[in-house]
Amino acid sequence: MNGDLRTFLFGLFGVTFILAVLMVLVYGAETGAILAALASRTPLLLTGSSDFSGFDGGFAANIQISLWAMLISSVAGTALGIALIARNVLVRAPAILVMNVLRNSPWLVVLYATLYLLPFEIDVFGAIVAVPTLVKAILGLALPVTANIAEVFRGGVEAVPSGQWESARSLGYRRLQILRYVIVPQALPLMTPNLMTTYAMLFIGTSLVVVTGAADVLSVARTVIGSDGAHIATAIYIYVLFLFFLFCFPVAIFTRWLEHRVRVPK
């Protein structure tokens, strides 16, 4: 863990230094004024409100979208992964088709598809209910991640020696019982690093929801640039890049640590 901690600190301070140098190279003597402008806009970029009175926009919206998409894709991906290893070909074949279509579809295309294919409002017992753009963004991100999680699940299960299945069958366990009580507990440590990487990629992918009109950090950044002027655009995007780095880099270091734990038993 000490090595990973050193990597984390080196990466954190190294990237901060590089971005700071980049700011100085771009703005020169104006750097101080630009940093002051960024500080004044930080509440808006983080929460979508200028005084932290709400947390439904900005970077907080990216976090919320990623968490909901993670939850949906974890449940759906597990179900799809079970279907991928089903003995019944009528279950397994459609699951393989769905997994391959979603896994090999560009995330941006899936986002556009959910944006326009899902209705903008639905009739619920005579009451017209609007379908929020945020919901479409969450579903649009969850679909391809579901396919990736299903493939991770399948790979983790198949990595468990087949003898575990035979031993459990000899004890009278049914297939789903074997999967739940014997196989998955052994496969989960093998799956966890890949799942963490998938979740990190999902969070990075939340930057794409700007195309749906959701009030994410990039949408807020465009609003700030529109009001403060194009001269601050570079600083705003460097700042947004730094926010994503601060969120994702610890996940990457933790994933490396998990991979080491899996490879090197105590």
pLDDT for the residue 238: 93
SS3 171: coil
Quick one: DSSP state of residue 181? I
Digit-by-digit pLDDT tens for the chain (266 residues) are 566 677 778 888 888 899 999 999 999 889 999 999 899 999 999 998 888 887 888 899 999 999 999 999 999 999 999 999 888 899 999 999 999 999 898 998 998 888 888 887 787 777 788 888 888 889 999 999 999 999 999 988 888 888 888 888 888 888 888 888 888 888 888 888 888 889 989 998 888 888 887 888 999 999 999 988 889 999 999 999 999 998 888 888 887 777 777 664 54
Cα–Cα distance, 199 to 48 (Å, whole number) = 23
pLDDT for the residue 173: 82
pLDDT for the residue 2: 66
Quick one: DSSP state of residue 126? T
CA neighbours within 13 Å on the CB side: how many for 18? 9
| Cα R_g (the chain), whole angstroms | 22
pLDDT for the residue 253: 83
SS3 124: strand
Domain with CATH 1.10.3720.10 in the chain: 58-214
Instruction: Give the phi and the psi of residue 138 in degrees, each rounded to 5.
Output: -65, -45
pTM: 0.85
Please state which CATH class domain 58-214 belongs to.
mainly alpha
Q: State the distance between the two ends of the chain, measured CA to CA, in whole angstroms.
A: 13
Beta-strand pair 127-130/121-124? antiparallel
pLDDT for the residue 262: 63
User: How confident is the model over 138-161, as pLDDT tens digits?
Assistant: 999 999 999 999 999 998 888 888
pLDDT for the residue 163: 83
pLDDT for the residue 3: 67
